[in-house]
Structures are given as C-alpha cells and as structure tokens.
Chain A
Amino acid sequence: MTRLKNDCFGQWIDTTQPKKFTFEGNVIEGFDGDSVASALLAHQVWVQSRSFKYHRPRGPLTLSGQDANTLVQSPKTPNLLADRVPVEEGLQLSGQNYSGWLGFDLSRTLDWFGRFLPVGFYYKAFFKPRGMWALWEPIVRRAAGLGISNLSVKADYTDKAYLFCDVAVIGGGPAGLHAALKVADGGADVLLVEQDPSLGGSLNYHAFSSDLKETQRQRDALIRNVFEHPNIKVLQSATCNAWFGDHYLPVLQGHRLFKVRAKQTLLATGSSEQHAIFRNNDLPGVVMCSAIDRLSRLYGVIPERPLAVLAGNDLAYSTAFSSHDAGATVVAIIDLRAQCDDQTLRAEAEARGIQVYAQCVVYEARSEWGAHRLSRVDVHGLHHDSGVGQKVASIDCGVLAMSVGYMPAYQLACQAGALLQYDDANAQFSISNLPKGMHIAGSINSVFTLSALECDARNAARAALRALDIAVAERDEAVDCRASVNHPWPFVKHPKGREFVDFDEDLQIKDIVNATRMGYRDIQLVKRFSTVGMGPSQGRHSALPTARLVAKATNRSVTQTGVTTARPPLTPEPLGLLAGRRFHPLRRTALHHRHLALNGQMIPAGSWQRPAYYGQPADRRSAIDAEVTAVRTGVGLIDVSTLGGIDLRGPDAPEFMNRLYTFGFVKQPVGKTRYAVMTNEQGVVSDDGVAARLSEHHYYVTATTTGVDQVYRDMLKWNAQWRLDLDIANVTSALSAVNLAGPLSREVLRQAECDLDLSPEQFPYLAYREATIGGIPTRLMRVGFVGELGYELHVPSPLVGELWDRLMTAGHAHSIRPFGVEAQRLLRLEKGHIIVGQDTDGMTHPNEVALRWAIAQHKPFYVGGRSVEILSSRPLERQLVGFELTDVSTQPMEGHLVIREGEIVGSVTSCEFSPTLQKIIGLAYVHPEDAAAGSQIVIRIESGVCAQARVVKTPFYDPDNARQSL
C-alpha cells in the first residue's frame, strides 16, 4: 500500500517513521501522524465498528471525530474514536458492540428483523407486565452495549488547571487564526484552542483554490504569526467541551482539564458537514467530502476504488477535482441541482473525464453480498417537485463522497443561550441572541469563502476588543457571503427504508415521521421518544434532518420547530478528567501524629479526623471498654481540639452573648462558665457549648465541631446588622484543647506543674481559670464533659503537643489512657448529654429536649426567642427521653422507630451498650404522654421485631452529678 506524500498530500504523516499496531488481532502498519482510522483505511479496513441497535457494519464518516462510526475499544478503555486516536507502536484495538467477530456479527440478524424493532420498541415491549424489565435488561444491555469497561485498571493521574485570558478563541481554522491575530495585535491576551493536532482547520485539507500550494503558504504564514505572537497561547489537540456562566470554559487536553477563565469568548468552531439521506447511506464507503479531503491531504490515503461524488453545492466539485488530481479514479458527480453556482465547474469536470449527472440523486447504495462495503450506487433523476424519477444509471464505485450542506457548530453558542435560526427559503442558518461577551466568526456564522472569512474574523475580533474597552479605530468591514452551501432537501425516501437520519441510534426517516404521527410534534419530545441525537455524536448530523422532517410532517418551518437543546458536554469526556486530582481536605488536629503513634484508629468527624479508639481494630470492643473504665475509675485524656472556639471581646460582648444564646449572660460572673444553647430564627436548637467569662468584656464560647463555622458566620451576619462594639474571632484553629477526666485528673494536673491552686474550694466545678502548665499559657475550665472530675485545657495550638506529652508523663504512674470518640460518646450518653445534630434535628425546639431551664425568661431579645415563645404556647408533639433495655440481645440502632398504637411517634437518636451500667441505654423521641419515667415504649428494631424499652430519668449514670463536682 503506497501513500501519497508530498507538499500538499499526506501532510501530517511521517513516512520515515512506521508504527505497528493491532486491530482485531491483525497487525496494521501506519505512520507517525496517522490516526487509527486513516491507517486502517490505508489498508482497506473500512468496517471499524458496529451500529448500536441493528449491529450494522459502520465505517468512518467524517474522519474528524464528529461521528460515532469509529468507536473502538482498547483493553483499558472503551469508546475511543479511531479517527482521533493517534497510532502508536504496540497499540491494541478492537471493534466493539458485536458478537462473533467484527466482519461477521452474529447479532447482525437484528437488522433483518428491524421492522419488528420500531422506535419506542424497548419502552413498549419490555416494561410490561411489571417487573419484566429486570429479566430483559441484561440481554438487551449485552446486545446494545457500548464497549466493555475494564474495571481492574488503575486510575490515570489526571489534573486540572486554571488558564486565564482576555479572549478565548475556540477553533484554529482560518477564522480563528485571523481573529486571534487581530485580537492579539490590539493588545489583548488570547488563548487559541484547536481540536486537531495542528492549527489550520479547513486550510489544511479544503481546496479553496486550484493552487493548493498557495493556500498552504498563506496558512503557514498565518500559523507562524500566531505562534510568534507574544499575546497568543495555543492549545492543540484540545477540546473546549462546554460554555458555562461568565465565560468559564472546560478545555480537555490529554490528561488535563483546563478551567479557562476568559473575559470574552470568540467562537470560530466552524461547521459540520451534513449527510444526504438515502437507502443504505450508512454503508462503509459512503463518506463526507470533507472526510475524503482530510484522508488525502492530511494522511495521504487516496481511494483505490472508483470514487463518486454526490453534490448539493459547489464545494463538492473541489473534492472531486483534488481527488482526481491526486490520482483517484473519479467516475461521476451526481448533482442534486440543475446547475452549479459557478458555471465553469461542469466544464472543468468534463475536462477531467468526470461525468456529471445533473438533477439526479443517489437512490440506493449497494454492496456485494457479505462484503460490507459500498460497491455501486443507483442514480435516479430528480423532478422539480422533489419527486424521485426513473433510474438513470448504476455506477460502480467503492467510495461515495457527499457534500449537501453544513450545519454551524452551534453547540457552545446555544449552551450560552444563543438562538439557532434557519431560513427555509434560502436554506441559510444564522445564530442570534449571543450572550454578552460572545462573538462568532467564520463558517459558524455561515461565511464560507476565504476572503469573507477574513473580514468576518476581523470584525468579531474588533467587537471583542471594544468589549474589553480597547479602542479600535477602524470601521467594520463588509462581509460578502455569496456561497450557498446547503441543499434545501437532501432526502430520498425509499419504500424499503434504511435511509438513516441518525447513525448512532439507527434511526430512519420513518422513525422520525412516525413519531410525529404518534403526536410528538415538539422536537424535544421527538428526541425523547425516538432517542434521536442522544448518541455519542450528540445530533451533529441528525439535528438538522430531524428538524426538517418534523417541520415538513407538521407543516411548519425549521425555525418554528427549532432544534433540540444543546447541553454540555459537547463530546463525551472521561470522568477522570472531571475528578482531577481528587482533593479531599480533612482537618487534622495538632495532635494527629501523636494519635497515630499511639495506634489511634482515625475516623472522619465532620471535616476533621479524630481517633475512634486506640488499639488494633480486632480489639475494638475491649479497647473502648478499657478507655471508658480508665475515665470512670482512674484518668483519661482526650483531644477535643475539634471543638469550636469563639472569642468575643469588647464593650458589647455581654450584650452580644445575650442576643445570640438563650441564657442570660450579662450577669454571668467573671471566672465562671455557663452552658450556652443557641436557637435559630425558627426557634430550633442550632448549637450548644460552654461560655466562659474571662473578664468584664471578654467571653470565650465553645461550639460543636460541625456547628462552629455556621455559628461564627451567623454571629458575623447578625453584627453586620446590629453594629455592636465588639470583635468576634473564630479561634478554633488558634487554640487546641484536651480534656483530662477521671477521679485522678486533679492529681495528674498538679504533677504536670499547673501553677494554680486546684483545690475544689479555689477551683470549683464550673469555674474558669487561667494558669500555666509547665510554662504553657492555658485556659482551664471545670466542666462535666464526661461526668467525672475533669479539666478542659485550651492552649495555643503550637504548644498543645508539649501539653499532651506533659500530661501523659504526669499520668503515667496513674495508668492514664488516651481515649477516643467512641468512648467519649458512650461516656456522654451515660450522662444523658444530648449532641446537637445527632439527638436534635431541623425541627427540634428547646422544650422537646428539656432545655426550658436554659432559656432566660426576661431578656429583651435573643435570636429565635419569639419563635420559641410561639412554639411553647402549643402542645408538645414529641419529647426526647432516656430509655433502657435490660435484654441486651435486642439493641436498637439510631433511626429505629418508636411505635405507639400502630403509629410512628418518634425515633431512636442514640443507643449504646453501657459497660458501666451493664445495660442498653439510649435517647429517643417519644409521645409526650410516654415521657414520664417508668413508661413503656415500643421500638421497632431490625426485621420488624419490636422491643420493649423503659423510659428512665437521665443521667443514667451518677444521677446526682456528684462525681463531676468533686
């Protein structure tokens, strides 16, 4: 197999660098620069995939990654586009979506039964009777699969990066190149994004004039200027896959997703060539004219078999001529029109010995039996009223190149809210209603000749510059767009069908028309019913013919029917690119590495990592029990740095406390702590903590681990309205805290060299003190955290490691144990402490959780006060109570329901087995009539079993709270 390699043909391949890969087990030799599809075509391998529904053999259509006919599979990745994947030594590829082998698909028979598989077939056939789909699904999925995902591959290293520019120019064809240069010359910062491996776009393959070399010289100069321009950054092999608000553009390139932040977007995305619709138009060998141009000019592959051209415009002639000049046998041009726009073309064709069939159509494409490849086309005459006439000729050809129209690559513009309109009379598209900061130029703007493109691009560039407040002196240029490229009706209906509108979904003319007959007039409904445009090529070729068919069938214009909505992404994108480097920020306390050294088993707690317990997972239960026992009988130490801390400083600090929390704080003595409950404006309990008064104008208040950020924000927001004179500082990270708890904690603290009189008289329960412990400045609070004698010690975070070590050393003789979250929860549950967010929900008001005592009755105002007042005047609907079960075999779980006379009245919010009490204890919402101690409640546990529990007074442990106030 020889390739054409000279200045104008085979531009992208390097014939000195052969590369071998395998396709379906056969070794294929391509060259560096080849795509897999071009290398396969050079070896006459036209069948590259099977269609989705009928398993029809399919070959390349556009050769630019725009169609789904080249989806192939590598051992690692399914759904690769063979016309986008560069050949590489050793690559292993196969076709997909077939059983047997690609050349003879066992499921091919589906095609013969096609008339039993009408549109909507799956909906209709497999969903009745109910439950049937579960049976059918695996069979249908296997038959209609889209490749095989290899679940054992290791995820690639993918990455994201921002890219900033003034103007993002999408598309590196002639319009994009001219626009980029003009914008950059104006002084703006340009990012140029091109999907192909090289800039140039249609300049690389389309014969704009008969002097191919001259076009290439112009192109090379343009590209050189672009690369040399200091204001232009170029991304090649990169796809701009969407437009999001304020010009946020995801651009995919290799393993990286660029998050482009542009001030303006200039779309020079071009247009996609449309196919003609006739019987067997999906046969491998039926391709777009632009595909033939690309094949020869970029990859040096010239069709070996005779080539026929189906023309709906003058552009088709250039493909015929350049193919002929490159050595292909061009046997015929079948022109849908009576004459060309350029009257000289016909004579030029005949001079090359190409027969022109004017006012004719391809009625049917045919293949030899079993060959899966175009061998002949039947040409029929075309009457004035669009009717198909008698057969005129039967032409032997191996390739049919079509050029009947171009659809603007409108997707990005329409995602941004632009409107695609179609002038039925002139078969012209226009895009209007562009959002602020978006500009279009080139064939997306229906401008097709080179000179007009240039003017159009400069105009768009000027508009972008003006929008950036850069003065532009020149006036806009007039754009002459004479070329009409769209044939108004390239449809040829055949009695036997198989005229494909949508190749991805195997939809034919009748499928679309039938949908309208079933009442689906709206284009969006036609899409959903028929699945047209839902395949991998996302309607790039099916949107326009569908709109035309629906318009005709419902006696409307295409503008009236519209096209289906364009939504991101433009092309299928690997999820790995969206995930990027997978950031999972989890906060670590300053004691994190000490926990790890002590074998702490870390678990997430809100946004933090905390040790659940210390020891091997196999010994979990005994480790937790030992930690609990240490706290109850000796001494334990826990890292509570994750508790929120907020410093309120200033003359209005007391007033502010009074407004934010339910209790009274103005008269709180200095050196004392108070329990602080916060309600939100709805009167719902939103957070709790301990408030210490450090001085007249200084409070330090703790907040829950998960609640502190919200509490801090709420405080700032309230004071943005009240303008009280104080400073609100979130000191959660600045201060770290540990809780030293247990009957021996006073002794340990003393030995750790705390310079404070720790006697109960001088430092009683609920007091606040400041001292140094071995020189470390510490805020000390005596709180009943776990219901034992205990000290909460807050120190500057950089010093907490030293404090921890000091306490562990001092506690060594007393067998001090670090304890984790599991023991903490159990110890606190034994004391009946509620956890806001666990034992309360978004409806819990203070009366339901027995917090009436924590509300000051005679304050002028507190947030939520009025709502609490309204709620208090109504009868209670539920109440949180403590319960116990003596039968330890039936432990309820959090969320299990409380049932009363067959009705759900509440649920369990916390429940554990208490090793101290040797029974199951928990908290649950119950009916208010069952809230008294001694009531029996019914909890429905696993598999519907009901357990009887007894309501008891809390605390479960040490009900007189004697131990914590020692």
Chain B
Amino acid sequence: MKIMNCPLNGPRNISEFVYGGQVKTMPDHRLSSDSAWAEYVFYEKTEIGLVLEWWLHSPSSYWFIAERHNGSDEITRTFAPEAIFCDRVDFKTSEVPV
C-alpha cells in the first residue's frame, strides 16, 4: 500500500486519505460563459505530468494539497493549502440582500 506524507500527521497508509479532486481556479461565475463554466466543473488535467490535487486525511479531517505525477504515481510533495489559498475570498454582493 502506498504511503502519503500528510503535512499535519506525517507519513500514513494511503487508506487513511480521501481524494478531493484537482486543484482548480474557479472562474468568475457571473462573467464566464456556459461552456467556460462547464469546462471548470467537469474537466480535469489529463496530460502526463505533475498535477495538484486535494487530499483529505480522514482521521484528522485535514485538507491539504499534493503534487503528484500522474504517470509514475509518485507524490513529489505535499503542503498546507495556505500556501496557495492565503487570502479571504469574497463574492461580489448583489444589490438585494436576502
């Protein structure tokens, strides 16, 4: 069984982890076209190479990011999501609050 290094908990059996999809950037939902939105929702990178993925360490409910080669399956590094997501995200408020 593969071992993955959790930034919080250290190396653990892969069975302790849950895959959470690739790391993607959400386009502006008000401005993007239907097809650009569909692209964001449904498509993932499939070219051979390094991909960034969300992984959850289930016993600690800790989400982090792993960089993995999708050809060799080698996990090249794992790190806390703060490295990418450091600022608060706000969506533009609409005129009528509900």
Contacts and interface: CB of A to CB of B under 8 A. Distances in A.
A–B direct contact (CB < 8 Å): yes
Given A246-B2, A682-B42, A724-B88, A666 B98 contact: yes
A65 interface: no
B81 interface: yes
Contact of A858 (B2, B37, B87, B96): B96
Nearest to B96: A858
A721 B98 contact: no
B98 A713 contact: no
A859 interface: yes
B90 to A, nearest CB: 8
Contacts of B73: 245
B63 A865 contact: no
B46 interface: no
A722 interface: yes
Contacts of B91: 659, 860-861
Contact of B63 (A667, A716, A723, A867): A716
Nearest to B86: A723
A724 B89 CA distance: 8
A870 B37 CA distance: 9
B1 A248 contact: yes
Contacts of B3: 245-246
How many chain A residues sit at the interface, stated as a range, is 20 to 34
Contacts of A681: 41
Contacts of A659: 91
Interface in B56-78: 56, 61, 63, 73
Interface string B9-34: 00000000010100000000100101
Contacts of A859: 94, 98
Given A245-B2, A712-B61, A717 B56 contact: yes
A245 B1 contact: yes
Contacts of B85: 720-723
A713 B38 CA distance: 23
B79 interface: no
Contacts of B89: 721-723
Interface string A710-728: 0011001100111110000
Given A244-B1, A246-B2, A867 B37 contact: yes
Contacts of B93: 860
Contacts of A667: 97-98
Given A713-B56, A724-B88, A860-B93, A866 B29 contact: yes
Contacts of A712: 61
Nearest to B61: A716
Interface in A235-253: 244-246, 248
B61 to A, nearest CB: 6
A248 to B, nearest CB: 5
Nearest to B35: A870
A717 B54 contact: yes
A720 B88 contact: no
Given A666-B97, A716-B63, A722-B88, A866 B1 contact: no
Interface in A867-894: 867, 870
Given A666-B98, A712-B61, A866-B37, A246 B1 contact: yes
Contact of A856 (B29, B38, B42, B98): B98
B32 to A, nearest CB: 8
Nearest to B97: A666
Contacts of A867: 37, 41
Contacts of A666: 97-98
A724 B95 CA distance: 22
A664 B98 contact: yes
B92 A682 contact: no
A827 to B, nearest CB: 32
Contacts of B38: 870
A853 to B, nearest CB: 13
A721 B94 contact: no
Contacts of A870: 34, 37-38
B1 A720 contact: no
Interface in A412-462: none
Contact of B61 (A682, A713, A866): A713
Contacts of B2: 245-246, 248
A730 B61 CA distance: 10
B74 to A, nearest CB: 9
A246 B1 CA distance: 7
Interface string A847-866: 00000000010111100011
Contacts of B34: 870
Contacts of A244: 1
Contacts of B88: 722-724
A861 B97 contact: no
Contacts of A717: 20, 54, 56, 63
Contacts of A861: 29, 91
Contacts of B95: 858
Given A245-B2, A720-B85, A858 B29 contact: no
B94 A858 contact: yes
A681 B41 CA distance: 7
Contacts of A246: 1-3
A436 B76 CA distance: 14
Contacts of B63: 713, 716-717, 720
Contacts of A866: 29, 32, 37
B29 A865 contact: yes
Nearest to A856: B98
A860 B28 CA distance: 11
Nearest to A247: B3
A785 B86 CA distance: 42
Nearest to A710: B18
Contacts of B87: 723
A248 B54 CA distance: 24
B12 to A, nearest CB: 11
A866 B41 CA distance: 10
Nearest to A728: B61
Contacts of A664: 98
A717 B57 CA distance: 12
A682 to B, nearest CB: 6
B81 A721 contact: yes
Please indicate which of the listed interface residues B18, B61, B93 has the most CB atoms of chain A within 10 Å of its own CB. Answer: B61
Nearest to B73: A245
Contacts of A860: 91-94
A245 B54 CA distance: 21
A303 B34 CA distance: 83
A713 B88 CA distance: 19
Given A244-B1, A248-B1, A867-B41, A713 B97 contact: no
Contacts of B96: 858
Nearest to A659: B91
Nearest to B88: A723
Nearest to B92: A860
A722 B89 CA distance: 5
Contacts of B41: 681-682, 867
Nearest to B20: A717
Nearest to A712: B61
A245 B89 CA distance: 39
Contacts of B61: 712-713, 716, 730
Nearest to B32: A866
A730 B54 CA distance: 20
A722 B38 CA distance: 21
A858 B89 CA distance: 19
A720 B86 CA distance: 9
Given A667-B97, A716-B63, A722-B85, 11 more contacts: A246-B3, A666-B98, A713-B63, A723-B89, A724-B88, A730-B61, A856-B98, A860-B94, A861-B91, A867-B37, A867-B41
24 contacts: A245-B1, A246-B3, A664-B98, A667-B97, A681-B41, A682-B42, A716-B61, A716-B63, A717-B54, A721-B81, A722-B88, A723-B88, A723-B89, A730-B61, A858-B94, A858-B98, A859-B94, A860-B92, A860-B93, A861-B29, A861-B91, A866-B29, A866-B37, A870-B37
Kindly list the 9 A-B residue pairs having the minimum CB-CB distance in the complex, ordered from nearest. Answer: A664-B98, A861-B91, A866-B29, A860-B91, A245-B2, A246-B3, A722-B89, A720-B81, A858-B96
